A and B are shown apart, each in its own frame.
Chain A
Amino acid sequence: MICAIKAEALSSGVISEIKMANREAGITEQIADLQGLIAQGVDAIVFAPVDPEALNAVIEEGAAQGIIMVSVDSRVTTEAAYVVSNDQVAYGANGAKWLFEQLGGEGKVVYMRGIDGVGADTDRDIGFQAELEKNPGIEVVEEVFTDWSPATGAQQALEIMNSTEFDGIWTSGIDYTVVPQFEVAGVDYKPVVGADNNEFLRQISDLEDEGFIGAAVTNPPAIGGVGTAIAIDLLKGNSHPQQTILDPAVFDMANNSEDVKQMYIPTLDVGSSSYIEIEPWTTYDAQQVIDCKGPGE
Chain B
Amino acid sequence: MTAISSSEALGGSQLRDWLRHHGWTLGVWLLLGALVVWYSTLVPSFGGFELSLIVNNSLPIAFLALGQAVIVIAGGIDLGVGSMMVLTNVVAAKYMEGESFAVAILIAVVLIAAAAILNGIVGWIINVSKVPDIVITLATLFIFAGFALAILPSPGGGAPGRFRWLFTGSESGIGRNAWPAIIMLALATQVVGLWLVKTRNGLSLYALGSDPTAAYLSGVRNSKAKILSYAIGGGLAAMAGLATTALTGSGSPRLSIASTATLNSVAAIVLGGIALTGGIGSVVGASGAAIVLFILNPILTARGVDPNSARVIQGLLIIFVLMIAGVLEQRRQRRS
Contacts and interface: CB of A to CB of B under 8 A. Distances in A.
A28 B244 contact: yes
A118 B256 CA distance: 15
Contacts of A122: 154
Contacts of B306: 20
Interface stretch (B5-13, B28-36, B247-255, B321-329): B247-255
A61 interface: yes
Contact of B50 (A21, A26, A39): A39
A24 interface: yes
A208 interface: no
B98 interface: no
B143 to A, nearest CB: 19
A61 B227 CA distance: 44
Contacts of A116: 153-154
Interface string A214-257: 00000000000000000000000000000000000000000000
Given A21-B307, A23-B307, A51-B250, A36 B172 contact: no
Given A40-B43, A57-B173, A27 B301 contact: no
B294 A32 contact: yes
A183 B249 CA distance: 46
Interface residues of A, number: 31
B161 to A, nearest CB: 10
B44 interface: yes
A117 B173 CA distance: 22
A164 to B, nearest CB: 23
Given A35-B57, A36-B53, A116-B154, A57 B249 contact: yes
A118 B252 CA distance: 11
Contact of B155 (A23, A31, A40, A51): A51
B205 to A, nearest CB: 29
A31 B155 CA distance: 15
Contact of A21 (B174, B257, B301): B301
Contacts of A21: 297, 301, 307
Interface in A1-59: 17, 19-24, 26-28, 31-33, 35-41, 51, 53-54, 57-58
Nearest to A116: B154
Interface string B279-313: 00000000000000010011001101011000100
B233 interface: no
B80 interface: no
Contacts of B44: 40-41
Nearest to A41: B44
Contact of B301 (A26, A33, A60): A33
Contacts of B294: 32
B304 A117 contact: no
B260 interface: yes
Contacts of A28: 57, 60, 244, 247-248, 257
A48 to B, nearest CB: 13
Given A24-B256, A37-B301, A31 B57 contact: yes
Interface string A246-285: 0000000000000000000000000000000000000000
A24 B250 contact: no
24 contacts: A17-B304, A19-B302, A19-B304, A20-B304, A20-B307, A21-B307, A23-B297, A24-B260, A26-B260, A27-B155, A27-B252, A31-B57, A31-B173, A32-B57, A35-B53, A35-B298, A36-B302, A39-B53, A54-B155, A54-B249, A57-B172, A58-B174, A60-B172, A117-B153
6 smallest beta-carbon distances between A and B, as pairs = A117-B154, A36-B298, A57-B172, A22-B307, A41-B44, A32-B57
Given A23-B297, A54-B155, A57-B174, 7 more contacts: A26-B256, A26-B260, A27-B155, A32-B57, A32-B297, A32-B298, A58-B174
